[in-house]
Structure 1
Amino acid sequence: MADDGKPTQTGPLASLITEAQNGGLSVSFGEGVTKDFLLNADEFAYIERDCKAFKAEITKLQALARTISEQSDWGLGEATDGLTSANTVVSRFRSKANHAGLHTDSDDNLYSILDQHYKIVDDLQTLHHTIAQQYCQQDSNFAAEYNRLTANIEKSPIGTQMQVGVTTNPGLGKSK
């Protein structure tokens, strides 16, 4: 924790999150350019919802990567005496899935890369939540709409089976 009671951030977007917590995050459209824009509570609510769903999917994929690295029988001839190439291939597959305690292990494996993605999505979620909370403190209409949406938000389409070429997001292209 920082001295002000706010958690100390360490992820890839730590400086932006800290700036948002302190109320110092701003948007610039360029020098001398002024733009009017409408801030919608639903955008914050849906981003947070989808970040949660995306993190759940990443966690599922990490479990699959762990299962791959721990698979005992690959059926590639690794149990055959003298077939060292099969053992080499199996050890590389295991190491590409996750750290498997082998000489072929590196941080360039599926589990570790997914972990990096998880941290980025987690930071995006934290950043948007922090900004939304700042707006809630300043704007009672925004707060009421944000709280209504987050209390009754529908399930994210992330992680659901989708037919290729068919969009199911009713919000795309929808005018307000």
Structure 2
Amino acid sequence: MSGESTTPSSAGPLASAIKDAQDGKLTVSFSNEVRVNADEFVYIERDCQAFKDEIQALQTIAHRISDRKNRGLSETTDGMTSASTLVARFRGDDIQNLHRTIAQKYVEQDQEFAARYNELKANVENSQIGTPTQLGVTTPPAIGASK
């Protein structure tokens, strides 16, 4: 996948979690019924990249719209701050970097996980994010799921 950096943005909201993951200090407690699985890390990373690619395509459209004198989008009204926060987090790579860093730590510590993760990374399918869909039609697998 493109953009495979695990360097956290210096001011991003997940920078300290990424740093802790890099240093092996990030811990999570699971019950015996929860298993970490390489599939989820590969597909989360793939879909993070697909979301960023889709956002970039939409930004190109937005730049074209912004060149208009009057966009007619209530541009003088305060927008949804949660939406701009989410976009900023995707743009800053924090979510993807956190998942990638945690996956890398699992790869370093667990040979079975590493083998499955590397196999999946080498053969990962294209994400369905950004693919036009027909209303009322669901195409399996769902976003983030393997076949």
TM-score under structure 1 length normalisation: 0.65
SS at match of 1:59: helix
Query: What is the CA-CA distance between 1:24 and the residue it aligns to?
Result: 1.1
Unaligned runs of 5+ in 1: 1-5, 73-89, 97-103
CA contact (8 A) 1:14 1:123 kept: yes
Pairwise CA distance, 1:25: 1.1
Match of 1:48 among 20, 45, 48: 45
Shift of the 95–62 alpha-carbon distance from structure 1 to 2, 3 Å rule, reads farther
Point out the structure with max Rg over C-alpha.
1
CA contact (8 A) 1:20 1:131 kept: yes
Structure-2 residue corresponding to 1:131: 102
Structure 2: distance between partners of 1:60 and 1:132 = 28
Q: Taking every aligned residue pair, what percent have the same amino acid on both sides? A: 52
What is aligned with 2:125? 154
Aligned AA (1:44): F
Q: Secondary structure at the match of 2:97?
A: helix
Moved more, 159-168 or 42-51: 159-168
SS in 2 for 1:25: coil
Amino acid in structure 1 at the alignment position of 2:122: A
Q: Give the corresponding residue for 1:66.
A: 63
Do the aligned partners of 1:157 and 1:169 also contact (CA within 8 Å) in 2? no
1: CA distance between counterparts of 2:36 and 2:101? 15
Aligned counterparts of 1:21 and 1:154: Cα–Cα separation in 2: 27
| 1:80 equivalent in structure 2 | none
- What code does the residue aligned with 1:160 have? T
SS in 2 for 1:132: helix
2:104 aligned partner, one-letter code: Q
Q: 1:117 to 1:14 in 2, by over 3 A?
A: closer
Deviation at 1:12, TM superposition (A): 1.9
Q: Tell whether the 8 Å contact from 2:12 to 2:89 is kept in structure 1 after alignment.
A: no
Q: CA deviation at 1:119?
A: 2.9
Number of equivalent positions: 137
> Mapping of 1:80-91 within 5 angstroms?
90=70
1:117-136 CA distance string (max 9 Å, x none)? 5336x211111100000000
1:116 aligned to 2:117? no
| Structure 2 counterpart of 1:13, one-letter code | L
Q: Is the 8 A contact 2:7 2:97 kept in 1?
A: no
TM-score normalised by structure 2 residue count: 0.77
1:86 aligns with none
Match of 2:35 among 33, 38, 42: 38
